[in-house]
Amino acid sequence: MANARELTPKSVENVISEDDFQKLLAVLGEVKYGTVTLFIQDGKVVQIDKLEKIRFRQKEA
């Protein structure tokens, strides 16, 4: 799995820690349908929300 330094500029450590970045990657890997929202405060990630949709197929009549 990639780390923050490989994917983003050096200043990324001022925005999100390596540990939190790995958590974000894990959340992104879990969501099949839905959204991931980052909450930023004072230029730093303070919260990650995940909203996952579960889709059901309708049987044709």
Distance CA 40, CA 51 (A): 17
pLDDT in tens, 18-41: 888 899 999 999 998 999 999 989
On whether residue 41 sits in a domain, the answer given is yes
Structure confidence at residue 55 (pLDDT) = 82
Is the pLDDT reported for residue 5 higher than 60?
no
Number of domains present in the structure of the chain? 1
On whether residue 57 sits in a domain, the answer given is no
CB 51 within 8 A of CB 34: yes
Q: What is the pTM of this model?
A: 0.61
- The chain-wide mean pLDDT, for the chain, equals 81
CB 12 within 8 A of CB 38: no
Residue numbers of the domain that contains 11: 4-52
Distance CA 29, CA 36 (A): 11
